[in-house]
Structure 1
Amino acid sequence: MNRRLRTHSRREFLQVTGLSWVIGQAGGVAVPALVFGEENSGPIDCGPPPKAAPQHRTGGESFPPLPLPVTPLRRTEKKRPPSPPALIGKMALGSVRWITRDGKRVMYRDWMTDPADVNTLLEWTNEKLGIHYRAVETDFAHFSFDPRELPALLFAGHNSFQLTDDVRAKLARYVMDGGTIIGDACCGWNDFAESFRREMELIFPGRPLRKMLPEEPVFSSYYKLGNFTYQKADGSRYDDAPCLESIDFGCRSGVIFSPADMTCGWDGHDHPRGLRLVIDLARQVGANLITYILGSYQLARFLSTTKVYYEAEAPTRDDFVFAQIMHEGDWDPDPSAVHNLLKYARDNSTLEVKFKRQNIRLTDPQAANYPLLYMTGHREFVWNNDEVAFLQRYLKAGGLLLADACCGRMSFDMGFRREIAKVFPDAKLEKIPLDHPIYHNLFDIQEVEYTPRVREDFGNINTPELEGISIDGRLAVIYSRFDLGNGWEQFPHPYSYGLKDDSALKIGTNVIVYAITH
């Protein structure tokens, strides 16, 4: 039976947000009524409002400033604890609509349907993870678009929405500066999902949302997650691959989107509509998102800066210039890596190394002019017949290809092994022995240090694991399944399977020396 809430503060909240509630008989618990908006829009009720902030009162003797009266004053007063830092801002979305509630016209916006979602998630994760963060509500008119103020923004709702060009530009800058956008289609509502994808495409042209791979750190940053369990409108459940999508910026995901509902699960309730993650899984995914945002925040800020190759326009003559292969995958996840490696090589050798990285495609005839070609990435890629033919000619003529799987990702590893087999169908990658000159031409490399993730999953290995393909006794291909570029960047990558900075830089420098001398 519908009843009005008797407390003025709760009634006032409902009038502002336009929510409707049913009060259960068991303990007076508020549960959402399934109310839908006008014109086939999404539901306008999903969860109860946030809990009221606790009242902290301390009874005792309180002393006014000196001089003291004859007897101290005794009083009881509210004490406000210090606010924890804000981590996530829930963004106000949706046009203003007016609906009728108890005979009154009240204002409603789509983002208000589940007002306690991220607050409840943070309460849960604060307890589970031993952290202390809070969520806030914000809007485009009053937000600074500075990730130092709010590292993450949550976009959630049911209905279509549209942003202005000015807001799009500011959101692009926000993410490039290190912020993260989380999108959630509440109740799995398709109108919101289509709008979110469209807006991200306009904000980041040429960077489409792509299905996240199971190996990505957001699926293991706290809980080790496999297939997701989904619940359909009829209450039935099924298991399938994770549905999360992302847009990557360097070695981090700056936009993460779920087309299946998470936010209702964060708040601990479900409804007979839409498509959603079951409650326990939704909270585990939320905990992983929060852990990932916290773990990658400093890296995100680091990646927001761009190293300048100040000799980029200088004539190359006979000096060594580093050429990086552009391909269909995320070919440039470590934009500062090559700069730092070239500086290290020049400072620690007699090499005449230009501070220049030349980005080339294998279809470019100029690619044959460089003694070393380098490539990296996270995802699979495919070489066409022309690219395969060029590499065959280039490598047989004396060129050298260096490749590494950025962050140690299995997808790139699988793609590279498949594609290099097209180039040399009668040869295969083999481990380079420790007595090979590649480990001794400048630096004597007998042992290397790996990142904590390598030691955690592969044991206490300490020897280089480079693989190669040789032609007439000369290395033509050098490949590292463990990341080198993250180490070249000389900044912590918390989720990387790779070599630590010093080891990666020494191996990279030895490869450059080998390319020049062979």
Structure 2
Amino acid sequence: MKRSRFLSAIAIGGVAIATIGAAMAQRGRWYRNDDISTDRRGVPRWDVDPNFENDAFTFARLRYESYGGYGRGGGGWRTDYPDSDLNFSLRLQQLTSMKVNPDPVVVELTDDKLFDYPFLYMIEPGALVFNEAEVEALRRYCYNGGFLMVDDFWGDDQYENLRRELKRVFPDREASEVPLSHEIFHCVYDMKEKPQVPAIGAAYRMANGEVGSWEQSRDGSDTRTPHYRAITDDEDRIMVFICHNTDLGDGWEREGEDQWYFDEFSVKKAYPMGINIVTYAMTH
């Protein structure tokens, strides 16, 4: 793990957070092309100091092939890809003093290069099933300092599926709700509530100003309350951070499609929480 070398690249006191909206210009929507080497979806490239070339933060998305577990439904590992990964990398570069790789990557748990990436992002885990090699690799990765963020799944059935799979990885540990007082909600942006971000098609605003911020689950369970749970190591470091009944990735991916969605969910919730999570991961 290269986490310790990131500390010099992150100056928390110098993070430009006074008005996140002022620093972010809404970008337009582009058509899907998964090859970011030929189509960056309108996201500009930036130079990385050669002295930090091997130490810059890289957004790494976890690819898993198995799909068909208990909580069926969802789009699998590539949901929101590559827009969310590109957009988040850009905003992390713009809004913090962190050195960021402009090229996000996709990795598997059994990749030889897995340990080059201290932060992993996994999406839509409601029906995944790890094979035994993936179970062993994820356990080794997390106990050796790695951090896994899990995002975008809704309802009790999908959470139960993830819980079962993580129990295979950590037989002696349980995920527990992370209180709002925890530093992960305050280490850069001071979150006043646990943010809930819906897919852009599920967001709504009523005439009385009420904002709908949740998606319906396939099992009919109540999804109005977002949950942020964690599995920690013996030093109380978060190894797995679970964002349930929320979709931070859509707030990154869809920032350019609707001004209200951008202002309400991308600026206020998805990017601040995402930046907090990455900052915590890279400094612990």
TM-score normalized with structure 1 length:
0.37
Are the equivalent residues in 2 in contact too, given 1:325–1:373 (CA < 8 A)?
Answer: yes
Deviation for aligned residue 1:411: 6.0
Q: Could you say which residue in structure 2 is the equivalent of 1:402?
A: 149
Which consecutive unaligned segments of at least 5 residues does structure 2 have? Answer: 1-27, 34-38, 68-75, 199-211, 217-221, 259-263
TM-fit CA distance, 1:413: 3.3
Mapped pair 1:454 → 2:220: no
Determine if the alignment matches structure 1 residue 483 to structure 2 residue 247: yes
Q: CA deviation at 1:412?
A: 4.6
Q: Structure 2 matches for 1:253-292, cutoff 5 A?
A: none
Cα deviation 1:168-224 (Å, max 9, x = unaligned) = xxxxxxxxxxxxxxxxxxxxxxxxxxxxxxxxxxxxxxxxxxxxxxxxxxxxxxxxx
SS in 2 for 1:319: coil
**Does structure 2 conserve the Cα–Cα contact (< 8 Å) formed by 1:403 and 1:480?**
yes
Inter-partner Cα distance in structure 1 for 2:169 and 2:120: 15
Please give the residue correspondences for 1:27-426 in structure 2 after superposition, counting only pairs within 5 Å.
Answer: 302=29, 304-306=31-33, 308=40, 316-328=53-65, 329=67, 330-335=76-81, 336-377=83-124, 379-406=126-153, 408=154, 412-426=158-172
Task: Show CA shifts across 1:226-247 (max 9, x none).
Answer: xxxxxxxxxxxxxxxxxxxxxx
What is the alpha-carbon distance in structure 1 between the residues aligned to residue 126 and residue 256 of structure 2?
A: 22
- The answer as to whether partners of 1:310 and 1:356 remain within 8 angstroms in 2 is no
1:442 aligns with 2:179: no
Please tell me whether the aligned partners of residues 89 and 104 of structure 2 are also in contact (alpha carbons under 8 angstroms).
no
Q: 2:266 aligns with which of 501, 508, 513?
A: 501
1:515 match: 281
- The answer (yes or no) to whether the contact 2:187–2:280 under 8 Å persists in 1 is yes
Q: Shift of the alpha carbon at 1:332?
A: 1.0
Amino acid at match of 1:479: I
8 Å CA contact retained: 2:148, 2:240: yes
- 1:383 Cα deviation from its structure 2 partner: 0.9
Cα distance in 1, alignment partners of residues 30 and 125 from structure 2: 16
Counterpart in 1 of 2:7?
none
Judging by fraction of residues, say which structure has more strand: 1
Unpaired runs of at least 5, structure 1: 1-300, 494-498
For 1:370 and 1:417, locate their aligned partners in 2 and report how far apart those are by CA, in whole Å: 24
Percent identity over the alignment?
A: 29
Query: Which position in structure 2 is the counterpart of 1:470?
Result: 232
Distance in 1, Cα, partners of 2:62 & 2:145: 17
AA aligned to 1:320 is F
CA contact (8 A) 2:150 2:241 kept: yes
Aligned length: 210
- Contact (CA 8 Å) 2:196, 2:247: kept in 1 or not? no
Is the alpha carbon distance of 1:303 and 1:453 closer, same or farther for their aligned partners in structure 2, counting shifts above 3 Å? Answer: farther
Q: Is the 8 A contact 1:380 1:414 kept in 2?
A: no
How many Å separate the matches in 1 of 2:257 and 2:156?
20
What TM-score does the superposition give when structure 2 sets the normalisation length? 0.65
* Mapped contact 1:378–1:411 kept (Cα < 8 A): no
Question: Contact 1:337–1:488 (CA<8 Å) still a contact in 2?
Answer: yes
One-letter identity of the residue aligned with 1:512? V
RMSD: 3.0
Deviations 1:144-168 (A, max 9, x none): xxxxxxxxxxxxxxxxxxxxxxxxx
Once the two structures are superposed, residues 269-300 of structure 1 have per-residue CA deviations (whole angstroms, 9 ceiling, x without a partner) of xxxxxxxxxxxxxxxxxxxxxxxxxxxxxxxx
Amino acid paired to 1:510: N
Cα distance between partner residues in 2 of 1:442 and 1:468: 19
